[in-house]
Structure 1
Amino acid sequence: MRLARAGEPGAERPVAQDESGAWRDLTEVVGDLDPSALAPEALKRVATAVAGGDLPVVAEAARFGPPLARIGKIVCVGLNYRDHARETGAEVPAEPVLFMKAPDTVVGPDDEVLVPRGSDRTDWEVELAVVIGSTAAYLETHEDAAAAIAGYAISHDVSERTFQLDRGGQWDKGKNCATFNPFGPWLVTADEVGDPQRLGLRLWVNGELKQDGTTADMVFGVHEIVRYVSQFMTLHPGDVINTGTPAGVALGVPGTPYLVAGDVVELEIDGLGRQRQQFGSA
């Protein structure tokens, strides 16, 4: 099932795509796509309502917003693709490298992204996002981890490398600039995605293919990431995990220009849709 939030910023309505491809208004079923809508019983209620064919059809959306409202926390995994670790000259980590991204970095999949003031190395990163659907702490098995996942979406983990790497402290400085996490267009439920380690990821800058990878190259797979993270923090419905990026970022290819105002970035993941952002100035 594909779930989304359509409409102008602050006025999005929850929608789901039926078998014909039409988008159906879910307002009377869940109110909004927020953490409470991710519970298994809520998703079953949505699926039943969509299959019934009685929900109002929504006209083709001019804009998709983030497919989840009131995101809790965003946990990110660094250096989680073997080819990306190689291109940056880093060793493949023995354990997942974790950092946090604030929920207020999230914007819609096609919204403008702002190059922050003082930036000279704003970079791109297409990532598979995991959306948590049930509370998870101290998970023991990959089966337990899979059961905690409501679905998946595309995250663009935009990064400012000078802030991240050269200004001291943790990576968070280069990860939490305004608009630095375009998210969506859809949340695709875990049952439809199936095996999350068989997804292709691609990203273009001004029409030039920069990243072309697969989740099969992850150092730590999705279920292991969820299990691992749950050992250090409790995951709640509405939390998001950005699972890392494949090779092809500007940081990893010497001489590659970084992003500036006017650039256009497009990205996609198999089955999860496509994003397009024009970059502007903060």
Structure 2
Amino acid sequence: MKFLRHGARGAEKPGLLDQDGRVRDLSAHVADITGTCLTRDGLDALRALDPASLPLVAGTPQDDLRLGACVGGVGKFLAVGLNYADHAAEAGMEVPAEPILFTKWTSCIAGPDDDLALPAGSTATDWEVELGIVIGDGGRDIAPDDAARHIAGYCVINDISERDWQLRRGGTWDKGKGYDGFGPIGPWLVTADEVPDPRALRLWLEVDGRRFQDGTTATMVFGPEEIVAYASRFATLHPGDVIATGTPPGVGMGQKPPVYLRRGQVMRLGIDGLGQQRQRVV
């Protein structure tokens, strides 16, 4: 199933995408697409619904119908750095021996097609297409062999990053990763049963039609199950938490010379089977 949130910013309603690409409203069954309905029991209840019986929502998603982030009420937005061997090489850094965890503040979360407002004074705002994990059943000290049972589904994330703030402003990545709008999520959450192999997905990103990133999750150093198990050693994971899993090569920082976003440009990005995003830089 593909779950989404539709409507005006701050007033999104829960929905799903049917087989014909139309949005069906779930408001009569759940208040929002949050952790409450993403546990195994919650998803089972939603799977029992007949999509054809749900009200159709007027408009075409990502055209004249705005979509919000596909998960609401996110408690933790975690991310993994340098998780693609070829991206680590691009950055001139060693492949990490264990996952590099950092946080993106939840106030950075945006809809998949919302405009990106450059921070005042920014000179190095960059892009990163990433596979996102959405936690279903929570847990602490999850065993790697059991981690798949804790994943509700997957989504597209653009881990937007201000590189000067990330790398040159006191040694913490969070300042460069958590600015408002730096976390577009969606367009939809695709349940894990519809993603047979999350390590065999093509992901790509373009700026003004120029393809910068064109990679595959096969080059991830740590896979989704390893990441979930590892993160759960340091914090209890809760339903609806989101984890960005790293990016393939082709980021702006890795170009020679580096290339960064400017007002008026448009980013397009996507992952096979998980949908696409589009952000205009303003």
- Give the structure-1-normalised TM-score: 0.96
Q: 1:23: how far off?
A: 2.0
Q: 1:7: how far off?
A: 0.8
Q: Is 1:153–1:186's contact at 8 Å kept on the other side of the alignment? A: yes
1:47 alignment partner in structure 2:
47
Task: Note the alpha carbon deviations across 1:93-134, whole angstroms, 9 max, x for none.
Answer: 001111111111000000011111121110000000000011
What is the alpha-carbon distance in structure 1 between the residues aligned to residue 142 and residue 211 of structure 2? 38
Q: How does 1:138-157 map to 2 (within 5 A)?
A: 138-142=141-145, 144-157=146-159
**1:120 matched to 2:119:** no
SS at match of 2:281: strand
- Quick check: 60-69 or 267-276, which moved more? 60-69
Q: 1:85: how far off?
A: 0.2
Q: 1:139: how far off?
A: 1.2
What is the alpha-carbon distance in structure 1 between the residues aligned to residue 255 and residue 29 of structure 2? 48
What is the alpha-carbon distance in structure 2 between the residues aligned to residue 77 and residue 50 of structure 1? 37
Q: Is 1:24–1:50's contact at 8 Å kept on the other side of the alignment? A: no
- Quick check: 221-230 or 60-69, which moved more? 60-69
Structure 1 runs of 4+ with >6 Å offset: none
Q: 1:20: how far off?
A: 3.5
What is the alpha-carbon distance in structure 1 between the residues aligned to residue 18 and residue 270 of structure 2? 21
1:98 alignment partner in structure 2:
101
Task: Note the alpha carbon deviations across 1:159-187, whole angstroms, 9 max, x for none.
Answer: 01011111113111111111100110000
SS at match of 1:49: coil
Q: How does 1:1-282 map to 2 (within 5 A)?
A: 1-51=1-51, 53-60=52-59, 61=61, 62-142=65-145, 144-280=146-282
The CA RMSD measured in Å over matched residues stands at 1.1
Q: Is 1:80–1:243's contact at 8 Å kept on the other side of the alignment? A: yes
Q: Is 2:34–2:74's contact at 8 Å kept on the other side of the alignment? A: yes
What is the alpha-carbon distance in structure 2 between the residues aligned to residue 261 and residue 59 of structure 1? 32
What is the alpha-carbon distance in structure 2 between the residues aligned to residue 236 and residue 224 of structure 1? 17
Q: Is 1:30–1:42's contact at 8 Å kept on the other side of the alignment? A: no
What is the alpha-carbon distance in structure 2 between the residues aligned to residue 139 and residue 122 of structure 1? 35
Gaps of 5+ in 1: none
What is the alpha-carbon distance in structure 1 between the residues aligned to residue 18 and residue 267 of structure 2? 29
What is the alpha-carbon distance in structure 1 between the residues aligned to residue 24 and residue 66 of structure 2? 15
Q: 1:256: how far off?
A: 3.5
Q: Is 1:26–1:46's contact at 8 Å kept on the other side of the alignment? A: no
Q: Give the letter aligned to residue 206 of structure 2.
A: W
Q: Give the letter aligned to residue 112 of structure 2.
A: P
Q: 1:43: how far off?
A: 1.2
Q: Is 2:253–2:259's contact at 8 Å kept on the other side of the alignment? A: no
Q: 1:277: how far off?
A: 0.3
Q: 1:67: how far off?
A: 0.9
SS at match of 1:274: strand
Q: 1:19: how far off?
A: 3.0
SS at match of 2:218: helix
Task: Note the alpha carbon deviations across 1:228-256, whole angstroms, 9 max, x for none.
Answer: 11111110001000000000001112213
Task: Note the alpha carbon deviations across 1:130-166, whole angstroms, 9 max, x for none.
Answer: 0001112111233x11000000111100001011111
Q: Give the letter aligned to residue 96 of structure 2.
A: P
Q: Is 1:40–1:133's contact at 8 Å kept on the other side of the alignment? A: yes
Identity across the alignment (%): 52
Gaps of 5+ in 2: none
Q: Give the letter aligned to residue 12 of structure 1.
A: E
What is the alpha-carbon distance in structure 1 between the residues aligned to residue 252 and residue 144 of structure 2? 36
Q: Give the letter aligned to residue 13 of structure 1.
A: K
